[in-house]
Structure 1
Amino acid sequence: MSVNSFGAKATLASGGKDYEIFRVDAVEGSDSLPYSLKVLLENLLRTEDGANITADQIRALGAWVADSEPSEEIQFTPARVIMQDFTGVACVVDLATMRQAVADLGGDPDKVNPLAPAEMVIDHSVIAEYFGRADALQLNVDVEYQRNKERYQLLRWAQGAFDEFKVVPPGTGIVHQVNIENLARVIFPREVNGVLQAYPDTCVGTDSHTTMVNGLGVVGWGVGGIEAEAAMLGQPISMLIPRVVGFKLSGKLNEGVTATDLVLTITDMLRKHGVVGKFVEFYGPGVSAVPLANRATIANMSPEFGSTIAVFPIDSKTTDYLRMTGRTEEQIALVEAYSKAQGLWHDDDREPRYSEYMELDLSTVVPSIAGPKRPQDRIELSKSKESFAAVLPTYSSNPDVSVPVTLADGREFELKNGAVTVASITSCTNTSNPSVMLGAALVAKKAVEKGLKPKPWVKTTVAPGSQVVTDYYNKSGLQQYLDALGFNTVGYGCVTCIGNTGPLIPEVSKAVNEHDLAVTAVLSGNRNFEGRISPDVKMNYLASPPLVIVYGLAGTMDIDLANDPIGQDDQGNDVFMSDIWPSQAEIDEVINSSISAEMFATRYADVFKGDERWANLETPEGNLFDWDEASTYIRRAPYFDGMPAEPEAVSDVSGARVLLKLGDSITTDHISPAGAIKTDSPAGAYLTSHGVEPRDFNSLGSRRGNHEVMIRGTFANVRLRNQVAPGTEGGYTRNFTKDGGPVEFVYDASMDYQAAGIPLVVLAGKEYGSGSSRDWAAKGTTLLGIKVVIAESYERIHRSNLIGMGVLPLQFPAGQSADSLGLDGTETFDFTGIEELNAGTTPKTVRVVATKENGEKVEFDGVVRIDTPGEADYYRNGGILQYVLRQLLK
């Protein structure tokens, strides 16, 4: 039932139509709120029902105290949900399983249906198997369809079985770029109960880089697939009103400085400042000097600096971009009229109240890269050679090694540490930005004119974020130069940035592994964690697309690009980076002559239709999915097996063993990797036992619809160091159900512990669960029998996901850690006080007693990180999906 306690309901006329709106100025204090909190305030006004969303929540948001710590809970209802296929397939499997469970319990399966619009873009499955050839794109898409037929059949079924669910087929583009170019409404026109409403477009997405849409002024962020499913089913997201960091921009970028340099600088600044769990909002006179594409590039990196969002307000740059990308004039007029009426239009001179303030003069930004293993580890380009030299001994015991290599075509060379073996223009961060994409193409043109070629050991790839990029490459005449350098388009998807790099050149891979070389990858992405890009590559660097081309030509990280030549021309003369670097005027000229609204309108006219391959897929019919027991991709999820209609009481945990003891900065890549499946791993053994040949293993990410594969891939990252099994690297632990506690695969030990009825614990350091918003990091954790995680601190999404899967997240007391308490992972753990949750309250701490093998006890109070009443409900139900299912049955 809708409530209108503040008399906020009003009418807005735009484009000859009347829209019902809810005016934020009806609430006292709203005028000086940050832009992002005004959007949340409108959300509460429009969804107020007197139960979940109350007048008290609305008043609390209007009276927000900027410098206070978050304590007021609100219920946020996103306008829509956006998904990519890795996490999205798992969502659809869960929804299909939920339908089956409702039917099994005597309910109506059609009740399991998205209540909010849900859109999925299939972009995570293409792998760069083929590269450096004109038919690379076609061949990679062919392989993609062969490998993913079962997954795509599920998604085709879902497209027909669920209302409000749409799928953008493979080969279209990267989810976040498709989102800003086409799916984002900015202001949402929608008929609700027979009334035409207008309200801010807000979204949550099953990918942490959902924040890219913040560049358009859309408040949206990444959540786990678990939370996204609940949002699709009408569950509001419980959250505390956050602190908001005001980031003032002034000045403008200097010549030769790219959007990538800017975003790496901002990432560095915000990481140092500390913005985890906060909103970041850009304001000030410099905002109008930042093109929309650059705004999107900055917003995209929000997960890398740790904020929930990094939003730019709506202004004329926004409406210009909407016009350029083919939105209708009616929609553009609505965006402007609504934003101005609601005080959401950017004003250079207005300074809202913020919790914290930061400032950057854009003219101080210098060319930068980041690496070798974290996106926040910024290096000024002028210092890149010395930085590489300083860290090399960490990766190689023989820094001066040189290995002779002969390729199949007869070319010979010496391969050394620091060799760039992957040069890839990839990922949503930069491929959405015409300035850096056309800048890279101009570098390629100048390089070809000088007679330069990439070094023979470099795998060269381009994966545009949408087909429009190819259109403007072709129209500008620059595609031929990229092709001439071997930077052919390999697919429209995330590719290298998510580990879909494909194999290195075989002879290079052999030399790297036989001689333990510390080779590098340079990519225009946002993620460069250890083990992510390629199992052969130890050091990964983020760089702008033009620099990716330059490093591909130079072939090494051991170079000073300001002073060392990157190659020789046809006459043997040295060529320097400055000789092939385009001016901003050159780039702007190509942008103005090559990009048109018609390109976007044409490409997106039938965006959900797909090509012949998609149209011709055999697709199951009916409202219940027809599960194939022989499938190694899609299996019915086990979360509802044996679930009673009412939740059982939660209980304390006793006699628990430590499955893993981990250090700081454990990412979701370490927990649930999305890369290649090794033949000798538990996941590889499972697939082999089901008749799958190693060449058809595909990636762990592509098999997220099969829990059997994913459990075996949890905590299996090749770079994981589990201190319970010191001296090992990879998915190993000690199995204390056996005499002497032998070292075994994590999965095998877990199965023995569960068979013996022994609950499991993970001990971890700071920033546990940072990185991509992978729901399988939490799903795999619970299916391995882990009941409690104790960490020094958590990444926001992963902490929430653990609760969503019925795992209790505890935090060590301030200033303490597993090491400071003397815990080594051989102890037995007991947790008391958890049962307080049965009384409807959440304890602040639970008592933890760790008993060592000699009987000595270590005792402390673990801080309970169930942060909201909504999260407590999920935990009491055994997880968010069980909670939602029980609500549907009622």
Structure 2
Amino acid sequence: MADSFATRARLDVNGKSYTYVSLPKLGERFDLAKLPYSMKILLENLLRHEDGGITVGKEHIEAVASWNPKAEPDTEIAFMPARVLLQDFTGVPCVVDLAAMRDAVAKLGGKPSQINPLIPSELVIDHSVQVDVFGRPDALDLNGKIEFQRNKERYGFLRWGQKAFENFKVVPPNTGIVHQVNLENLARVVMAREVDGVLMAFPDTVFGTDSHTTMINGIGVLGWGVGGIEAEAAMLGQPSSMLIPQVVGFKLTGKLPEGATGTDLVLTVTQMLRKLGVVGKFVEFYGDGLQHLPLADRATISNMAPEYGATCGIFPIDAESLTYLRLSGRSEDQIALVEAYAKAQGLWHDAQSPHADYSATLELDMADVRPSLAGPKRPQDRVLLEDMHANFRENLGPLTAHRKPRTGCAIEDFKEEGGAQPQADHLAAEPVSKIRIQDQDAELRDGSVVIAAITSCTNTSNPAVMLGAGLLARNANKLGLKAKPWVKTSLGPGSLVVTDYLKKAGVLDDLEALGFYVVGYGCTTCIGNSGPLPDEVSKGIAENELVVASVLSGNRNFEGRVHPEVKANYLASPPLVVAYALAGTVNIDLTTQPIGQDQNGKDVFLRDIWPSNKEIGDTIAATVGPELFAQNYADVFKGDSRWNDIASPDGESYQWDASSTYIKNPPYFDGMTMSVGNIDDIHGARVLGLFGDSITTDHISPAGNIKKDSPAGRFLQERGVQPADFNSYGSRRGNDDVMVRGTFANIRIKNLMFGGEEGGNTLYYGKAGATPEKLSIYDAAMKYKADAVPLVVFAGKEYGTGSSRDWAAKGTNLLGVKAVVAESFERIHRSNLVGMGVLPCQFRNGENAQTLGLDGSETFDITGLNDGASKTATVTASRADGSSKTFEVKVLLLTPKEVEYFRHGGLLQYVLRQLAAKKAA
């Protein structure tokens, strides 16, 4: 390790001596007093990895040390995280790729054992449990049994990986949600590791294969979500190239008022930051309000960084951080190291800490936060609780555009739940489905809540909102209120600790009385693992094409994500989830209309059952303690008998099963040699998809339900898999045959080649003069591949928002797409496209496919790439009538390292050749 600035120093803590690179020593040459906390973490990372300029040189350190907050990012640096965090949906393909790389490196002359994580890599199985069973005491046990039956092949593969790879550990199912387990147990905050015979202390930093890895920013750990491709590179010792970011400061003052929750706060913050525009930027929270903000609320805010578009949303280390470490059962030695290191490095925050200089600032007085939800299909679309009724009515028109007009309905058929009369112009458009469920006659209407789910790491890690939900349930039970029979209720705690403190507080019974039984320890509804609706409800929805709703305490409500039959999805705090289960509809104003009636028929309002902030605080103090964390995390990697009884192979190379529909050796390295290619121009490309704004990674590579008549569904049935055993796209990410067929297969995606029609279809243009054929995107892509025709995708703004889903790039690559041209890209997805050898290009400001008159029938040439050296390219669209349109686009290969990856055909190919070359040398 080089040390150009002589920053090495010693730190003695509790009888141990640590070496570290000292920021105060560097501060003798540069003014670091007002450098943002997150930039100091980056600076320390560069100092510690300085290698004479091979990856990190003196000039990189100087660039960050003299950071100009107003400058546009243009300087590339290399960042190396201290560890990698994976969840099983994205982790399985990572381990599949590593297993494939073991085979490939051997073919290139290396040894399989060369492929190993070089830094701690921990995988938490939390995405596979589905809500198949709910509303009954044995729901947890039955869902667990179904989970293991469905996923035993995947779990056996992961158990092989845990034995075969060094530095790789697996947290088994039924433990908790990845980000909550990270916060409560895995995060070190300050790491200590022997490097070249010296015990080094340095900040805990992390790459995670899930967007919401940013949750750990709440305790001062810098980390963010990356695609599996980038995570694998980090695991294999490759630094991540990035541009020195801008940092937005968000000042928090005051404290939350009575009745407002951390969820309401984060939805407000998300809306404000989305409006400002922070994509690709760091966000850092500061101000006097931090003293009133518990760690759990900070983690909730940090968790939602992908929703406000930032790379991270970080809080500094302070006394509250130490309080939480102690609460969650960390050792006193570790807590002492965190405090001593943070203070020695100038990373400690208290009331006397100077405010940093920021690229831009926002400010929020938390006293102004009001109860809110977000929806019906984007997390940044905040709705005040009092405006929910109007919001749903405004969105109902677009959501029912497909529905045939209805006439001859009586006004009494359409009274809005809660007692309000509908407007006359809605009478002909609002049907009702009469059903019988749970031995009761019931009516489903537009706005009926059919899913009420307490789910997701965003909120289930927060005792204030979880106990708030329990206390609200207790108050509702006392008055005899019940959830409506058509509501699918579920409780998916983020860790075993949550269940314990709900029991200790005596409110788990109250939640269960309303149908909120524990269904599993995982993401459940938030990732789309809602499970089926009751048959009666499904039939009622289908009968009149109803626009029904879900209310979930999650972070994502994109189209088609929560449940294919549910079109309106609202994010809310856990107490509001319970409230809407009681109301049974979102077509109501809970601030003025009764939520139900008590045993005596008297109206009960939400305000009558809402617990006070003091009651919630007192309950937290009486129930949440270190002993709960200590007992639940004592053997976190051990697992139960189900886990330990799963058969798994041995050996350093995996024995692939050709008949498997879950685990398959991917084709990325087929025919690979040590020769590096060029970045060539693209000629004669056809359009696979012409899309609008806000195409998410869920649209590109759905995680949930596999339709029986989809290409993936047909593929599975041809191999003897019955629809009941399809599982989900997310669970089958270890098999490229399934996943490439699921690419662009979301039921809600709209290819503008068909106007507003939903579904993953396209027009296949065969021989000149032939009538274009409507096919599924997969089937068309395979025909184009057989014709040796390259493909392009066009899109609008915010292409690839959402989860850090590497299969959205992998599937795009395997379909034969050579370039994606969009108005703007989400950060992670653009990086993933580069990593898979798909060229991301950006329209010039004010231009898009529509303004340029493109309809998808053209053939395209993308020229002037100059082997990756050019920052722009020329696109020529040639029409069938012989006319053409030419326009310029930006080439989004942002760093020299990305150009190098692209020449290799992708990031994994680059890493593989580097490792094979080391062996050859």
Asked if Structure 1 and Structure 2 have the same fold, meaning a TM-score greater than 0.5 normalized by the shorter chain, the answer is yes
Q: Are 2:365 and 1:366 equivalent residues in the alignment? A: no
Q: Are 2:152 and 1:149 equivalent residues in the alignment? A: yes
Q: Which residue is equivalent to 1:21?
A: 20
- Tell me the CA shift for residue 495 of structure 1: 0.6
- Tell me the CA shift for residue 835 of structure 1: 3.7
Letter paired with 1:804: G
> What CA distance in whole angstroms lies between the structure 1 residues aligned with 2:585 and 2:677?
59
2:286 is aligned, of 275, 283, 288, to 283
Letter paired with 1:460: T
- Tell me the CA shift for residue 816 of structure 1: 0.8
1:482 is aligned, of 511, 515, 535, to 511
> What CA distance in whole angstroms lies between the structure 2 residues aligned with 1:453 and 1:506?
21
Q: Deviations over 1:38-96 (max 9, x none)?
A: 00100010111111011100000001011010011110000000000000000000000
Q: Which residue is equivalent to 1:749?
A: 780
Q: Which residue is equivalent to 1:801?
A: 832
- Tell me the CA shift for residue 156 of structure 1: 0.3
Q: Which residue is equivalent to 1:615?
A: 644
> What CA distance in whole angstroms lies between the structure 2 residues aligned with 1:393 and 1:757?
44
Q: Which residue is equivalent to 1:868?
A: 895
1:843 is aligned, of 859, 866, 870, to 870
Letter paired with 1:255: E
> What CA distance in whole angstroms lies between the structure 1 residues aligned with 2:667 and 2:434?
49
CA contact (8 A) 1:404 1:412 kept: no
What are the residue-to-residue correspondences of 1:821-836 with 2, within 5 Å?
821-836=852-867
TM-score, normalised via structure 1 length? 0.99
> What CA distance in whole angstroms lies between the structure 1 residues aligned with 2:798 and 2:679?
27
Q: Which residue is equivalent to 2:420?
A: none
> What CA distance in whole angstroms lies between the structure 2 residues aligned with 1:818 and 1:794?
15
Q: Which residue is equivalent to 1:572?
A: 601
For residue 268 of structure 2, give the secondary structure of its aligned residue in structure 1. Answer: helix
CA contact (8 A) 2:434 2:444 kept: yes
Deviates more, 1:595-604 or 1:735-744: 735-744
Letter paired with 2:847: Q
Q: Which ranges of structure 1 fall in alignment gaps of 5 or more residues? A: none
Q: Which residue is equivalent to 2:391?
A: 387
2:810 is aligned, of 774, 779, 795, to 779
Deviates more, 1:733-742 or 1:8-17: 733-742
- Tell me the CA shift for residue 645 of structure 1: 1.1
Q: Are 2:516 and 1:516 equivalent residues in the alignment? A: no
> What CA distance in whole angstroms lies between the structure 2 residues aligned with 1:7 and 1:347?
28
Q: Which residue is equivalent to 1:531?
A: 560
Q: Which residue is equivalent to 1:473?
A: 502
Q: Are 2:730 and 1:716 equivalent residues in the alignment? A: no
> What CA distance in whole angstroms lies between the structure 2 residues aligned with 1:148 and 1:407?
34
Letter paired with 1:18: S
CA contact (8 A) 2:431 2:445 kept: yes
- Tell me the CA shift for residue 724 of structure 1: 2.1
Letter paired with 1:743: K
Letter paired with 1:862: V
> What CA distance in whole angstroms lies between the structure 2 residues aligned with 1:523 and 1:113?
39
CA contact (8 A) 1:659 1:724 kept: no
Q: Which residue is equivalent to 2:356?
A: 352
- Tell me the CA shift for residue 727 of structure 1: 5.1
CA contact (8 A) 1:675 1:700 kept: yes
Q: Which residue is equivalent to 2:69?
A: 66
Q: Which residue is equivalent to 1:259?
A: 262
Q: Deviations over 1:786-834 (max 9, x none)?
A: 0010000000000000000000001111211111111111000011122
Q: Deviations over 1:491-534 (max 9, x none)?
A: 00001011100011211111112211000000000000111100
CA contact (8 A) 1:719 1:730 kept: yes
For residue 288 of structure 2, give the secondary structure of its aligned residue in structure 1. Answer: coil
What are the residue-to-residue correspondences of 1:155-234 with 2, within 5 Å?
155-234=158-237
1:647 is aligned, of 649, 657, 676, to 676
Distance 1:295 1:247, change over 3 A: same
What are the residue-to-residue correspondences of 1:245-644 with 2, within 5 Å?
245-349=248-352, 350-396=354-400, 397=403, 400=427, 401-407=430-436, 409-644=438-673
Coordinate RMSD, CA, aligned:
1.0
- Tell me the CA shift for residue 563 of structure 1: 1.1
> What CA distance in whole angstroms lies between the structure 1 residues aligned with 2:50 and 2:543?
64
For residue 820 of structure 2, give the secondary structure of its aligned residue in structure 1. Answer: strand
CA contact (8 A) 2:433 2:544 kept: no
Deviates more, 1:638-647 or 1:776-785: 638-647
Q: Which residue is equivalent to 1:877?
A: 904
> What CA distance in whole angstroms lies between the structure 2 residues aligned with 1:342 and 1:855?
66
1:791 is aligned, of 822, 838, 852, to 822
For residue 639 of structure 1, give the secondary structure of its aligned residue in structure 2. Answer: helix
> What CA distance in whole angstroms lies between the structure 1 residues aligned with 2:4 and 2:33?
18
Letter paired with 1:810: C
Q: Are 2:761 and 1:732 equivalent residues in the alignment? A: yes
For residue 753 of structure 2, give the secondary structure of its aligned residue in structure 1. Answer: coil
Letter paired with 1:564: Q
Q: Which residue is equivalent to 1:6?
A: 5
For residue 888 of structure 2, give the secondary structure of its aligned residue in structure 1. Answer: strand
- Tell me the CA shift for residue 406 of structure 1: 3.0
TM-score, normalised via structure 2 length? 0.95
- Tell me the CA shift for residue 107 of structure 1: 0.8
For residue 752 of structure 2, give the secondary structure of its aligned residue in structure 1. Answer: coil
Q: Which residue is equivalent to 1:44?
A: 46
Q: Deviations over 1:298-329 (max 9, x none)?
A: 00000000000000000000000000000000
> What CA distance in whole angstroms lies between the structure 2 residues aligned with 1:52 and 1:409?
64
- Tell me the CA shift for residue 488 of structure 1: 0.4
CA contact (8 A) 2:489 2:581 kept: yes
For residue 863 of structure 1, give the secondary structure of its aligned residue in structure 2. Answer: strand
Q: Which ranges of structure 2 fall in alignment gaps of 5 or more residues? A: 406-425
1:92 is aligned, of 95, 99, 114, to 95
Letter paired with 1:805: M
CA contact (8 A) 1:299 1:309 kept: yes
Deviates more, 1:302-311 or 1:565-574: 565-574
CA contact (8 A) 2:280 2:309 kept: yes
CA contact (8 A) 1:283 1:348 kept: no
CA contact (8 A) 1:407 1:507 kept: yes
- Tell me the CA shift for residue 351 of structure 1: 0.8
Distance 1:740 1:727, change over 3 A: farther
Letter paired with 2:643: W
- Tell me the CA shift for residue 408 of structure 1: 5.1
CA contact (8 A) 1:90 1:705 kept: yes
> What CA distance in whole angstroms lies between the structure 2 residues aligned with 1:388 and 1:213?
34
Letter paired with 1:291: P
Q: Deviations over 1:156-191 (max 9, x none)?
A: 001011110000001100000000000000001111
For residue 210 of structure 1, give the secondary structure of its aligned residue in structure 2. Answer: helix
